A and B are shown apart, each in its own frame.
Chain A
Amino acid sequence: MSAIAFPAPDLSIIRRRPEILAGLAALVPAEALITAEDELRPYESDALTAFRKMPLAVVLPSTTEEVAAVLKFCSQAGVPVVPRGAGTSLVGGSTPQEDAVVIGVAKMSRILNIDYANRTARVQAGVTNLAITGAVQADGFFYAPDPSSQLACSIGGNIAMNSGGAHCLKYGVTTNNILGLKLVLLNGDVVEIGGDHLDMPGFDMLGLLIGSEGQLGIVTEATVRILRAAEGARPVLFGFPKPELAGEAVAAIIGAGIIPVAMEYMDKMAIAICEDFAKAGYPMDAEALLIIEVEGSEQEMDDQLVRIIEIAKRHGVTTVRESKSAMETAAIWKGRKSAFGATGKIADYICMDGTIPTGQLPYVLKRIDELVTHYGLRVANVFHAGDGNLHPLVLYDISDPVERQKAEDCGLDILRLCVEVGGCLTGEHGVGVEKRDLMTVQFNKADLDQQMRVRAVFDPAWLLNPAKVFPLEGRVAA
């Protein structure tokens, strides 16, 4: 992504590196401070590996107090800070820079309290998404947002990006499932936002903080809602001979008053890639596949499926296959959730994340096809059909600079298309570095200035994750 610029590193900071390292060393135990080049290497990028920058240092605090001390030190020394969860961001949300200190929360990975009667759990920011569900599932509960990277990604990163997942059609995204946060401000002050009750008083700082991409402070603890799981869940595969028939079936299901817990779409190339990887029994002859999951008791699932299958038949479905066992269910979801990883095994790819109004689906799929053909590339489409959150994977060869540039241009064209039809640049991955320079496509100057003025309340000097989200030109300090 050669086209996206980083701010030029501040050489005066880089010259002060020895003194900055000494300052950090006084604040955290030796094992929490990483300064050697070979040990810094794993932190030079996140999952958007096209961008690599060596940070000044990485700090891995174990307590909120250590985070506070490091942030206070960095703000007083005028050193930029890049917060990091598990480093699974697909948009460069935690890409470092040469003049910045990375503060990673990975060591803060304890579940502090589980309260079933009030259906909440208090966790540290470095806990993985799946570990929360893991801690409560023996008692029948779960934490709802389920990004595909949930085995690795941290709740702190989920909070920074307002992560979604396949099941948010029914259960919402991160911001709908967090009740409280412990936040360290840039000056080292620690504040509690919300609690273990519903709705915070005053301005909705929870809503503001969640999805703020590490630019307002560093979250060290969160109180999350945990929900009682349904008695059962059953994904069903629906193969369609044409993409638009699958799109129409989705609209008809919603129109009939049915909100399945998940409705996932894959096109022919995605089906082939994922089937090869997961052996989930996806219909290889279909042009489009819907994975629709229903939940409840056996009888309730049967009842819902009768309705859904009837609608699918009216829209020309050619294959209907229900999961008959927990193993089949796992394989079906493994295929879908491995879509990015499996694609990465056959080619390099750029993953887009725009959302569109679902009514525009047939038009947008056709346009994506045209765009990709125009650039001479291939695309695999997987997306959350119920909410219009697309994930076109544009395939290319990273060793070919011309093709790489084409892929980047194609991806940006697809995002412009999403905005043009009434959608947005990113549904769940965040803006990060990747979409920063497209923000002016979605927002005008007044919109962006207001966001930046709010940002400035927390960080007027642009020290927190400064290369991200907002275009480098036209930045507002206060």
Chain B
Amino acid sequence: MSLFTPTSEAEVAQLVADLALTGKPVTIQGGATRAGFGRPIQTGATISTKAISGITLHEPAELVIAARGGTTVAEIEAVLAAKNQMLPFEPMDHRALFGTSGEPTIGGVVAGNHSGPRRIQAGACRDSLIGVRLVNGRGEAIKSGGRVMKNVTGLDLAKLVTGSWGTLGLLTEVTFKVLPRPERSLTLLIKNLDDARAAAALSAALGSPFEPTAAAHLPAGLSRPVARTILRLEGFSVSLEYRIAQLRALLAGFGEIIVLEGEDSSGLWRGIRDVEFLAAPEDAAIWRISTAPTRAPGMVAGIAAAVPGARWFYDWGGGLVWLAVPPGGDAGATTVRAAVATAGGHATLVRGPREVRARIDVFQPLGALAAVTGGIKTSFDPGRIFEPGRMYAGM
């Protein structure tokens, strides 16, 4: 097993060109905090992005930041925080779920399109990403997008590579639009709703003009005995007081609203973002399902009836389901896939035993898009050297 630590994009390009000549498959490693994600694969070589690091541009007045792929998320967030700014999409940190200890990198965030609770209001990682530089499987350094917010010049390859898990190339630089940090952030909490009532409450709030920036539901028994339905409001203080009053009136039929602030509020959303509530027991298999919010409770009820011991919670206004199931058998795959086929949407086995991930579809099966997906992989990486099989068998 060889480990390469190139220090520049040019070195990455040369290295990949050499590997491509010998057809030697390679794994890309950022902070290794998500090492257990995807289908298990064996490659003879690893490229670490550790030495391709550093912020290359931050123009606070233009709301833009760029950094090399191996830059830690922590460094980027610290630099933004110093100017009272933030990444809009609240990237998820997988360390709690995987029990890992490295530092997540921004390249890894883009590779997985990792977005947190604010996704419903500010968009996903792919929506904030305005430019990339990457080295494709031919060893060519290419760019897509740039550093300006509105750009429709040519095909949007930046979005295409977001969430492709390194299978299309190694990200050497990424550029984001950023947002000002809100002056104040707080949480509205309603207790004791069942899943269906919670979904209705979240839909009512998100369909109101009062713009929650996050909306989640934690069923009873998930770290607390009572169910918690929560909404986050962010903005200028005067505005929030008004919105609290309006939402109290709008949601009066769902129960009393309690206001949480400070760590009581931010800690809750961090726990949701990072799926801390389902991290233990550490051998539980974890599924991530995106569907339409109103269909989620029925889908989950069907899965729960078929898989004893299932636990779950909802983010993204009810449309994102995090589901923990016992790791035995196929880790619930057959049931989950059937339920998602009925409800619409997609499911990913985020955490599960290696041998299970080796024999089931970890990512949502491609169906009619398989041929086009394979063609795109080949167009970037004809020798299939980047992360072969990480997402889909044979690709």
Q: Interface residues, chain A, CB within 8 Å of chain B? A: 115-120, 140-141, 161-162, 164, 168, 172-173, 175-176, 185, 189, 191-193, 195-208, 210-212, 228-231, 251-252, 254-259, 296-297, 299-300, 303-304, 355-359, 384, 387-389, 422-431, 435, 439, 442-443, 446-451, 453-458, 469, 478
Contact = CB atoms under 8 A, between A and B. Distances in A.
Interface in B117-167: 119-120, 123-124, 126-127, 136, 140-144, 146-160, 162-164
A204 B373 contact: no
A207 B62 contact: no
B376 interface: yes
Contact of A296 (B180, B207, B239): B239
B379 A454 contact: yes
Given A197-B292, A202-B364, A300-B242, A424 B183 contact: no
Contact of B160 (A199, A207, A251): A207
B20 interface: no
Contact-residue size bin, chain B (C-beta under 8 Å from the other chain): 35 or more
A415 B113 CA distance: 32
23 contacts: A164-B152, A172-B123, A173-B150, A197-B344, A197-B346, A201-B363, A202-B373, A204-B163, A207-B160, A208-B159, A211-B152, A212-B156, A230-B209, A299-B238, A355-B148, A359-B62, A389-B150, A442-B146, A446-B141, A447-B144, A450-B157, A454-B160, A454-B379
A169 to B, nearest CB: 8
Contacts of B160: 203-205, 207-208, 454
Contacts of B152: 161-162, 164, 173, 211, 426-431
A229 B236 contact: no
Nearest to A168: B150
B372 A205 contact: yes
A88 B76 CA distance: 41
Which one of B152, B154, B155, B209 has the greatest number of beta carbons of chain A within 10 Å? B152
A453 B157 CA distance: 11
A198 B369 contact: no
B124 A357 contact: no
A456 B378 CA distance: 11
Contacts of B207: 116-117, 119, 141, 228
Interface string B174-218: 000001111100000000000000001001001111010000000
Given A164-B152, A255-B60, A303-B236, 17 more contacts: A115-B294, A117-B294, A196-B344, A199-B115, A203-B373, A211-B156, A228-B207, A228-B208, A254-B61, A255-B61, A259-B180, A355-B148, A355-B151, A439-B154, A446-B142, A450-B380, A478-B379
Contacts of A172: 123, 127
B219 interface: no
Contacts of B149: 355, 387-389
A172 B152 CA distance: 13
A450 B379 contact: yes
Contacts of B61: 251-252, 254-255, 358-359
Contacts of B168: 203
Contact of A439 (B153, B156, B239, B346): B153
Contacts of A447: 142-144, 154
Given A207-B126, A231-B209, A196 B372 contact: no
A204 B159 contact: yes
Given A195-B345, A296-B239, A299-B242, A207 B154 contact: no
Nearest to A460: B375
Interface in B278-300: 290-294
Given A197-B291, A198-B316, A204-B113, A453 B379 contact: yes
Interface string B11-48: 00000000000000000000000000000000000000
B59 interface: yes
B107 interface: no
A443 B143 contact: yes
A357 B154 contact: no
A443 B64 CA distance: 21
B348 interface: yes
A202 B363 contact: yes
B97 interface: no
Interface in B216-245: 236, 238-239, 242
B84 interface: yes
A373 to B, nearest CB: 26
A127 to B, nearest CB: 21
Contact of B206 (A119, A204, A429, A443): A119
Given A191-B368, A358-B62, A424-B151, A454 B146 contact: no
A426 B156 CA distance: 13
A41 B189 CA distance: 62
B126 A427 contact: no
B320 interface: yes
B301 interface: no
B390 to A, nearest CB: 12
Contacts of A251: 61-62
A451 B155 contact: yes
A451 B59 CA distance: 29
- For the complex of A and B, the 8 pairs showing the least CB-CB separation, nearest first, are A207-B159, A257-B180, A457-B375, A201-B364, A427-B150, A201-B346, A453-B379, A251-B61
A204 B209 contact: no
A330 B247 CA distance: 30
A466 to B, nearest CB: 15
Nearest to A248: B61
Most B C-beta atoms less than 10 A away, residue of A198, A208, A448? A198
A189 B239 CA distance: 50
Contacts of B346: 197, 200-201
B63 interface: yes
B239 A300 contact: yes
Contacts of A448: 154
Contacts of B291: 197
